[in-house]
Structure 1
Amino acid sequence: MVPFKSLIQLDKASNTPIFVQLSNQLGQFIRTGLLTPGQRLPGTRQLAELLDLNRQTVVAAYDEGLAQGLLESRTGSGTYVATHFPEIRPQRLDIEARDPAIGMPSAEHSPGNQPGYPFDSLDFLVRPVLTQSVGLHLDDGFPDVRLAPMEELSRAYRSYFRWGNPQQHFGYGDTKGHLLLREQLSIHLNETRGLQTTPNNILITRGSIMGLHLVSQVLLRPGDIVVTGETNWAGAGMNIRKTGATLLTVPVDQHGMNVDALTVLCKNQRVRMVFVTPHHHYPTTVTLRADRRVQLLQLAEQYGFAILEDDYDYDFHYLSRPILPLASADRQGMVVYVGSLTKSVAPAFRIGYVVAPTALIDELARLRRIIDRQGDPMLEFSIGQLLKTGDLKRHFRKALRTYHARRDRFCELLTTELSDTIHFTKPDGGMAVWASFDPAIDMDALAQRAASKGLFLSSGVGHNPPGQRLNGTRLGFASSTEEELEKSVIVLKSVI
């Protein structure tokens, strides 16, 4: 006999009707083999008395089982488990793994937590998820969302609902991204970065990380060699390694990636791609020197490797005009240029872009289609409108002035208050300072002590190359006001 009274657990306070709960549990008993094909169920009156229910509740549960094909009714005989079910051997329940309340496996042994089949869990994909801190913070180099042009964006969103044919702009769109944004972005990139693009050279993505993923998937195969700086952005490295490619590194000094070391590597091995952040190297913020830029492009042409250029913070440079990207001097189609508006406006605006020859853009769009049919047409249209009206450019100019002042004040504070324990070079641009701490300081412990006093900062451990201890971290200044930066330095000094 099946102990229905002890196995069936009904919650009368639940929003799920009792008859549905009863039907679901009977179905679970059938699927796990506790009830076998052709087994007779108790009569509705008998089960109702056993469970202290109204008989009509049990009738409704049985009717639900009949409708789902789990049960079958035999005239004059009763209700039975459907005979078409295969024989299922009941699972043996480990007494120690059983939840005493309902006699079923506890949560940690539940299929809701662990599947019944194996899969590879890749250690290199384990990485803390960064979120915007609401208290004092010296983050990775985030923008100040309080400066974002919210009113202008709201107007642009409203205009989307009044624009064009509703059937057109509320249906499926172009996988490459909204045409208005690609047109305006092409103009913006050509004017500010010296590129020579058309809308067909641009693919809109959900942030630069999606662009890096798509490019890596299209260009790389298992065993391909990819070269990055010895210190590098973890997100890029994770995408490269996920393809099965081999990741090699070359040193990075005060002038950026050591291209001479790359030259030696190219003479001995077939390099498929080089990933670089030349404007401000991540994480150290140094700029790739002009002669090395020329040499890198020449190497790409000579050895036939692709350059994946991530220009994550081009819009924020504080000394005259920023250095033009590698892509602006590319005459042989060797550079794939990736950028984002996430750092320029706000992280929630998942607008990134890939700039490349049209043949590659077409292939990236085909791959993107099977991952994410399209982006957010309303957001893409709205950002396109802000570019067209000049609102976004005005935001860039305002943010540039603000971040410039915050950089100067933050570097002044680090110099006057912490010069004996922190060493840094004032960055020419970007939104963070690369700070090297006294070797005697335990960075993990420092980050924990700071958090206990209401200040978030990264321990920087994730920036350490294998076998090395840099004892440094990025201290973001852009997302904090000057007053908040002053408070943050006071806390940092106290925990040091």
Structure 2
Amino acid sequence: MFPFKTSLFLDRSCAQPLYVQLSNQIIQLIKDQKLPSKTKLPGTRALSEDLGVHRKTVVACYEELLLQGWVESIPKKGTFVNSNLPDFVPLDFVKEDRSFKNERGFSFYSNEFLNRKIIEQNENVMYVNDGISDTRLTPVNEIARTYRRIANRASIFQHLSYGSTFGNEKLREVLAEYLNTTRGLHITKENVLITRGSQNGIYLSSQLLLKKGDVIVVGKTNYISADLTFLHANAVIERVAVDECGLVMEELERLCKKKSIKAVYVTSHHHHPSTVTMSAERRIHLLNLAKKYGFAILEDDYDYDFNYNHAPILPLASHDTNGNVVYIGSVCKTVAPVFRVGYLIANPEFINEAANLRRIVDRQGDALLELTFADFIQSGELDSHIRKVIKVYKARRDLFCELLSNELSNFFEFEIPKGGMAVWLHLKEPYQWKAVAKTGRKHKLEIGDYERYDSANTNHNCIRVGFASFNEIEIKEFIVRLKLTMRNLEKDV
């Protein structure tokens, strides 16, 4: 019998909820193979007595492990470590007209695939977005107050000149501590490069990892900006299927046996665009494949903080001890897109090279803004903001999905997302988004570039529709306009 009582420790002084502490420790025991597949866990009452906690804490822990796929519940028998979890690979311990001419007098290289449709914003038109925060909820006063306080320091002038290409040192230290606490990482500032948002991190990583002809694997549905970044690096994009559990590992493994894979790009927490979460089984499988075949995993964790059904699932980077994961994130989605502060997390050798490359891209970030966010995070105001907006966005998700279901179920199918800020909306036959977009404009509803969600030409007939940036009144108005659009189309079918 495994000694759970002496192997689990709960820190009541820690801000992290006890059930999360407990679930994370059990996950670690499973990863270390101290709790092998099919191991029976103690009953909730017995374990609560052993640990001196309320039984509801253990119940919440088991529910969390069940949601994440680490355990399975068998009626009348108990809770067991998931029998389908593969074993972790053994770990290695360890980079005469003077006006400006509109005509060009020289040649340059263009990239046709980078041309994107830009829609001009007009009043009274509602625009579909693929999941952005509501800037009206931005804690502008708190950020401005912190910025003024920093700007008034006597020593501020040392931050107004050229600085480190790695980013502000204090923010790197604060982020390392913050990510260690909230996301289970084990990093120091040497693992951190401050970027101008997550897209900057994707670009820098792609330039270091990919040369002409190198293969990078993505989902058949994937974040379009990542696709374009890899194409710009002259890489070959190979695609594997995505289902309700994320990237299909069997397809990836078959691909690994046929081709030399340089990298795999994943949005494991909430797959972009379909919002599904990669299962625990597939996370382990992916890490094992990366170890076996020596490829990098680019993990873009663009909206880690927004979860409504359970606690955030620890990223792949928290389970990586072989140095295969490059972890990318930002505060842009969490606070507001205008604050271009993000981070790239990897082994120091890779971070050093990324900093060298950054020197010729944009040299450095905004030191005052980075200092501001260091204080904003350290003071707990970021966490306070996250707690506030999660409640707001959850209520908006629930209303949006309820109205979609009640008013438009004849036209659309969808799964209620467990997190994030968007719904993956499937348009039923015989309707097509091209017709919806055209008719929607008559009702001042702009669908936007719907084609970007199907780069692989699978004809899935889905788009990503954001709900977080609309308040209750706007959500209701959005549904009214969408319903009018679909009623018009229904007459033509």
Q: TM-score if structure 1 supplies the norm length?
A: 0.76
Change in CA separation of 1:373 and 1:329 when aligned onto 2, cut-off 3 Å: same
Task: Output the amino acid matched with 1:491.
Answer: R
Task: Output the amino acid matched with 2:383.
Answer: K
Alignment partner, residue 34 of structure 1:
none
Q: Is the 8 A contact 1:460 1:471 kept in 2?
A: no
Aligned-pair identity (%): 44
Flag structure 2 segments of 5+ consecutive residues without an equivalent.
1-95, 487-493
Distance in 2 (alpha carbons) for counterparts of 1:133 and 1:346: 21
Flag structure 1 segments of 5+ consecutive residues without an equivalent.
1-23, 29-109
What SS does the aligned partner of 1:410 have?
helix
- For 2:131, which of 136, 141, 149 is the aligned residue? 141
Kindly report the root-mean-square deviation, in angstroms, between the aligned alpha carbons of the 2 structures.
1.8
User: 1:351: Cα distance to partner?
Assistant: 1.1
Change in CA separation of 1:355 and 1:133 when aligned onto 2, cut-off 3 Å: farther
Distance in 2 (alpha carbons) for counterparts of 1:331 and 1:373: 31
Is 2:361 the counterpart of 1:371?
yes
User: 1:241: Cα distance to partner?
Assistant: 1.2
Is 2:125 the counterpart of 1:122?
no
Distance in 1 (alpha carbons) for counterparts of 2:433 and 2:397: 23
Change in CA separation of 1:360 and 1:344 when aligned onto 2, cut-off 3 Å: same
User: Residues 462-493 of structure 1: CA distance to partner in whole angstroms, max 9, x if unpaired?
Assistant: 11133332221111000011121011001100
What SS does the aligned partner of 1:274 have?
strand
User: 1:131: Cα distance to partner?
Assistant: 7.9
User: Residues 105-139 of structure 1: CA distance to partner in whole angstroms, max 9, x if unpaired?
Assistant: xxxxx983342333332221112347888653431
Distance in 2 (alpha carbons) for counterparts of 1:164 and 1:186: 27
Distance in 2 (alpha carbons) for counterparts of 1:264 and 1:335: 21
Q: Is the 8 A contact 1:279 1:311 kept in 2?
A: yes
- For 1:470, which of 445, 457, 460 is the aligned residue? 460
What SS does the aligned partner of 1:174 have?
coil
Alignment partner, residue 285 of structure 2:
295
Alignment partner, residue 247 of structure 1:
237
User: 1:258: Cα distance to partner?
Assistant: 0.6
Is 2:305 the counterpart of 1:319?
no
User: Residues 266-289 of structure 1: CA distance to partner in whole angstroms, max 9, x if unpaired?
Assistant: 011110000011101110001111
Distance in 2 (alpha carbons) for counterparts of 1:483 and 1:350: 30
Change in CA separation of 1:142 and 1:449 when aligned onto 2, cut-off 3 Å: same
Is 2:438 the counterpart of 1:440?
no
Is 2:472 the counterpart of 1:482?
yes
Q: Is the 8 A contact 2:269 2:304 kept in 1?
A: yes
Q: Which runs of 4+ in 1 moved over 6 A?
A: 130-134
Written as runs of structure 1 = structure 2, the 5 A alignment for 1:164-203 is 164-203=154-193
- For 1:259, which of 249, 253, 272 is the aligned residue? 249
For structure 1, which segment, 295-304 or 129-138, has the greater mean C-alpha deviation from structure 2 after superposition? 129-138
Alignment partner, residue 25 of structure 2:
none
Alignment partner, residue 385 of structure 1:
375
Q: Is the 8 A contact 2:443 2:484 kept in 1?
A: no
Distance in 1 (alpha carbons) for counterparts of 2:368 and 2:122: 27
Written as runs of structure 1 = structure 2, the 5 A alignment for 1:289-438 is 289-438=279-428
Written as runs of structure 1 = structure 2, the 5 A alignment for 1:278-289 is 278-289=268-279
User: 1:459: Cα distance to partner?
Assistant: 5.0
- For 2:102, which of 104, 113, 132 is the aligned residue? 113
Change in CA separation of 1:459 and 1:223 when aligned onto 2, cut-off 3 Å: closer
What SS does the aligned partner of 2:200 have?
helix
Alignment partner, residue 42 of structure 2:
none
Distance in 2 (alpha carbons) for counterparts of 1:296 and 1:132: 41
User: 1:353: Cα distance to partner?
Assistant: 0.9
What SS does the aligned partner of 1:313 have?
coil
Distance in 1 (alpha carbons) for counterparts of 2:427 and 2:325: 36
Distance in 2 (alpha carbons) for counterparts of 1:325 and 1:489: 34
Q: Is the 8 A contact 1:301 1:334 kept in 2?
A: yes
User: 1:435: Cα distance to partner?
Assistant: 0.2
User: Residues 189-248 of structure 1: CA distance to partner in whole angstroms, max 9, x if unpaired?
Assistant: 111111111112111111111111101101111111110001111111111111111111
Alignment partner, residue 163 of structure 1:
153
User: Residues 284-334 of structure 1: CA distance to partner in whole angstroms, max 9, x if unpaired?
Assistant: 001111101100000000000000000001000111212111000001010
What SS does the aligned partner of 1:285 have?
coil
Alignment partner, residue 259 of structure 2:
269
For structure 1, which segment, 370-379 or 121-130, has the greater mean C-alpha deviation from structure 2 after superposition? 121-130
User: 1:403: Cα distance to partner?
Assistant: 0.5
Alignment partner, residue 64 of structure 1:
none
Change in CA separation of 1:188 and 1:456 when aligned onto 2, cut-off 3 Å: farther
User: Residues 339-383 of structure 1: CA distance to partner in whole angstroms, max 9, x if unpaired?
Assistant: 011111111111111011111111100100111111011111111
User: Residues 73-106 of structure 1: CA distance to partner in whole angstroms, max 9, x if unpaired?
Assistant: xxxxxxxxxxxxxxxxxxxxxxxxxxxxxxxxxx
